[in-house]
Amino acid sequence: MYANDGFRELERQECLRLLAKVPVGRIVHTRGALPAVLPVNFSLDHDGSVLLRTSAASELVRAIDGAVVAFEADEVDSATHSGWSVVVTGGATVVTDLAEQERLTRTGPRSWVPSPQEVFVRIAPELVTGRELVGGRTLYGVTPEF
């Protein structure tokens, strides 16, 4: 995050609390040496890891397994010019432990596009950053003209 951009910087626990409130975010990864962004539904695990559930045969799994990725979610109110954005950056790995797979089948995210063979992908919360704008008020003490 950029400390002098006029937004309020959010602490890690506040970021995770906000993430838990929304069902959809965006995973940012590299595809063909270019940035790629894909909306996905998700949930958070007890340690703050972002969990995805997708087809084992998906291109997304092949692109991110073992890679460092970013995951972003937000909530914005365009009428009040307020909202927040949180980014989780860390390594993405397919969950291979059978006991962990069973646990996540019960507690993890449900795929919005179910497939016969699904896997869980865990994004480790190595870096968690966020920022907030409340009612269009910036940290500069200036209220934008609308």
In Å, what is the CA distance from 104 to each residue of 12, 66, 108, 135, 139?
Answer: 23, 19, 4, 38, 41
Q: What is the pTM of this model?
A: 0.88
- Tens place of pLDDT per residue across the chain (146 aa): 555 566 889 999 999 999 999 999 999 999 989 999 999 999 999 999 999 999 999 999 999 999 999 999 999 988 888 899 999 999 999 999 999 999 999 999 999 888 889 999 999 999 999 999 876 666 665 555 55
Alpha-carbon span 43 to 123, nearest angstrom: 11
Instruction: Quote the pLDDT of residue 144.
Output: 57
- Token representation of residue 124: 């480790």
